[in-house]
């Protein structure tokens, strides 16, 4: 009798692991059977809290023949290394964002996975939530006419005031673009399709940061990656999009994302969330209208991308939060930084399909359910 679930092993039991370890409560196809971490005490604590039956080393987890998918929740600089190890062990992999911190390592990961006929998935999966799926439906139905431009802003003054160990946010492979950019870029691609050309400008505004959170209060951080990143994106489908990500802004009144069309404007919710609100203002109207959400999964549903991949593994279709999408996002982020350094436009070599929209409502994979 065929399995009706996919066995998942988690590598990395830090802050983000808690919401993923709750995913089987929402998505029955997921069965988390083991977790591993370089800190075994941390792995044991998470396993006990979320009823994971087995705690093991990374090597033991990779060698376990019962595990179908490795959920890679390690720090960004080892994402590609751990994901490649999973592929080498004969397992599909779903990674936290970004896919890697360099194009070459991420490209090699995808090549090895394709050669082994294994899946690569990658966060963020917030674009599968009710808020952004409602926006996608509105655009597809022509609510704002033809999209011609957009703006996207993620600005604040960094995580050192709240994160318990914020040093890595200010090192190569992180910064505001690599940390938060994937949410915004993935949302934009899910609505508008892929990007063909990038222009960027970046700076390090404060070479040193002081942690004001516990337990490292007062510790100084040397900043090695840009903390204010501005990009101009030419999309294959036509829109010209401005994106700014920054850890250097004390306060602002900027929107998260707005899509400007030939017949109106769409105000898009925070792409780091699954909910709304969604606002629409058509040409000639004098007020914004809040649009009721047409799709489910409006609470924190991290793991929905992994569940979608698990169903796709059973049905044979393409999963939505896939490796090509994640690589395209990585390529865009790298290109913005490259453009600033080299002083020129960067034509992208990568491409991806716009992820297939979900059908309205809470239940989205009826055709893919294993009988």
DSSP string computed for 82-130: HHHHHHHTT-EEEEPSPS-SSHHHHHHHHHHHHHTT--EEES--GGGSH
Give the model's pLDDT for residue 9: 98
Q: How far apart are CA 307 and CA 23, in angstroms?
A: 8
Q: What is the β-pairing status of strands 240-246 and 264-268?
A: unpaired
Please check whether residue 305 is in contact with residue 125, taking contact to mean a CB–CB distance below 8 angstroms. yes
Numbered ranges of CATH 3.40.50.720 in the chain: 6-126+301-325+351-368
Asked if residue 195 has pLDDT above 90, the reply is: yes
Q: What class does CATH assign to 6-126+301-325+351-368?
A: alpha beta
Q: How far apart are CA 364 and CA 145, in angstroms?
A: 27
138-289: in CATH 3.30.360.10? yes
Mean pLDDT across 11-24 = 96
Give the model's pLDDT for residue 365: 55
pLDDT digits (tens, 9 = 90+) for 126-162: 999 999 999 999 999 999 999 999 999 999 999 999 9
Asked if residue 42 has pLDDT above 70, the reply is: yes
Q: How confident is the model at residue 264 (pLDDT cuts 50, 70, 90)?
A: very high
Based on its alpha-carbon atoms, the radius of gyration of the chain, rounded to whole angstroms, reads 20
Mean pLDDT across 339-344 = 97
Three-state DSSP class for 125?
A: coil
Numbered ranges of CATH 3.30.360.10 in the chain: 138-289
12 vs 364, residue with greater confidence: 12
Q: How far apart are CA 174 and CA 79, in angstroms?
A: 12
Mean pLDDT across 180-191 = 98
Q: Which of 318, 289, 298, 260 is nearest to 119 (CA)?
A: 318
pLDDT digits (tens, 9 = 90+) for 110-123: 999 999 999 999 99
CA atoms within 13 A on the CB side of 307: 26
Q: How far apart are CA 126 and CA 115, in angstroms?
A: 29
Three-state DSSP class for 95?
A: strand
């Amino acid at each position: 009798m065929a399995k009706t679930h996919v066995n998942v092993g988690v590598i990395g039991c830090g802050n983000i692991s808690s919401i993923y370890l709750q995913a089987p409560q929402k998505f029955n196809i997921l069965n988390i059977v083991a977790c591993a971490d370089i800190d075994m005490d941390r792995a044991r604590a998470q396993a006990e809290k979320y009823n994971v039956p087995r705690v093991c080393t990374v090597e033991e987890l990779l060698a376990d023949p019962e595990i179908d998918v490795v959920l890679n929740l390690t720090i960004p600089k080892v994402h590609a290394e751990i994901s490649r190890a999973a592929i080498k062990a004969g397992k599909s992999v779903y990674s936290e964002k970004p896919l890697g911190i360099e194009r070459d390592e991420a490209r090699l990961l995808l090549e090895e996975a394709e050669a082994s006929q294994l899946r690569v998935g990658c966060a963020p999966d917030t674009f599968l939530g009710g808020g952004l799926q409602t926006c996608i439906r509105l655009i597809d139905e022509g609510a704002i006419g033809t999209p011609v431009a957009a703006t996207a802003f993620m600005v604040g003054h960094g995580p050192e005031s709240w994160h318990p160990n914020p040093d890595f946010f200010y090192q190569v492979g992180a910064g505001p673009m690599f940390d938060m950019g994937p949410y915004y870029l993935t949302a934009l691609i899910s609505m508008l399709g892929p990007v063909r050309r990038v222009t960027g400008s970046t700076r390090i505004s404060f070479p040193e940061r002081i942690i004001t959170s516990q337990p490292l209060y007062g510790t100084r951080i040397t900043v090695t990656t840009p903390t204010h990143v501005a990009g101009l994106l030419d999309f294959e489908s036509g829109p010209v999009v401005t994106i700014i990500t920054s850890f250097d802004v004390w306060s602002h009144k900027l929107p998260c994302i707005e899509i400007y069309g030939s017949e109106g404007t769409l105000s898009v919710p925070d792409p780091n969330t699954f909910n709304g609100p969604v606002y629409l203002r058509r040409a000639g109207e004098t007020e914004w209208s809040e649009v009721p959400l047409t799709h489910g999964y409006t609470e924190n549903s991290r793991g929905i991308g992994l569940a979608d991949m698990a169903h796709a593994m059973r049905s044979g279709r393409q999963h939505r939060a896939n490796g090509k999408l994640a690589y395209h996002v990585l390529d865009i982020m790298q290109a913005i930084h490259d453009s600033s350094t080299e002083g020129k436009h960067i034509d992208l070599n990568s491409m991806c399909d716009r992820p297939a929209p979900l059908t309205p409502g809470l239940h989205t994979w009826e055709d893919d359910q294993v009988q």
